[in-house]
Structure 1
Amino acid sequence: MRRISPTRRAAVLMLTLLVHTGILWLMMQFRPGAGNPVAPQQRLMVQLIAEPRPAATPPLPARTGLAPRPEPRPIRQPVEAPPAATITAALPTEPAASVAAPEPAASKPWLDPEKTRLAVRQLAAQPSMREQAAQASEAPRRLTAGERFGQEVQQAATGDCLKGEFLGGGMGLLSAPFWALAEARGKCRR
């Protein structure tokens, strides 16, 4: 197979590009209707006519022998439960009407000091968010063998431009500029 010099290839490419540009320019200049004055616009008048309303529909017959529809229940929002380690509360076992007077706050503690200390110690032992982010950014992600192979194949992939294996290669005559770009960038197989 005879090799074509790069200067001759570039000259053929530029000539092809010039011919295509000229053809497109001529098509734009001599398209049908380009010299015709603007045709008068057609108008369409639409008139809306109010339609008489239908007579009131008779009421539906009463439902007989069927159970009444239940009332829709309101959707209950989920309530976040307080952490068990920090708050303890006693629920009343008697109905609210029978409760005479609330007990003083000193007799039932809302916070258990031992559980509170335990929770604070556990939080202090965990690394802070800043430390967690620093640990995550320090260790670079190692690629597996399959990922490395995929990257190398992707970097080495070059198509045969003479067979149309380049970006924009399936557009017929309009693919010539893309072919020239692929040749100039060295994306074609030699």
Structure 2
Amino acid sequence: MYGQMTAGSWIYIGSQGIVQGTYETFVEAGRQHYNGTLAGRWVLTAGLGGMGGAQPLAATLAGACSLTIECQQSRIDFRLRTRYVDEQAATLDDALARITRYTREGKAVSVALCANAADILPELVNRGVRPDLVTDQTSAHDPLHGYLPSGWRWEEYQKNAPIRSPRDDAGSETFHGGACSGDAGVQ
């Protein structure tokens, strides 16, 4: 399923321009794949920047829980303050416990986790955790200045990014992408 948003053209106006289209995409996914509702379902995504920040709000508006992996605490703080994200988990286990509880209760709650998606997504696959919907809003399209490869923390990446080569991240991006796609049984 593909949803076209305002960011695809020159009219990008920030996250608020993305929420409605993302919401519509999630609602349609619920209609097509989950008997018309996302209640008791959850969305896994990564990135809380201008585009990704809309994902958790759109998910909860559509009736789903969401878990968003974000490597920058400042972005999580902003999304908590603006109420695009409801809660922050301290660890992956904490995040999964919250998602399990909320989906069981049929509550639409968004949870953020400050971590590296390139590490967390493969770990979820290894654990056999299977979200109902998966999106990715990391900067995987910008391997030199935007993508955070496996094993790095944001602060260390910022100090060392100018001396790195995009080829350093190729394996991490491939594994990260595989964790989001059909390689993990995702439709």
Shorter-chain TM-score: what band?
Answer: under 0.3
TM-score, normalized by length of structure 1?
0.17
TM-score, normalized by length of structure 2?
0.17
Asked which structure has the greater CA Rg, the reply is: 1
Identify the structure with the greater strand proportion: 2
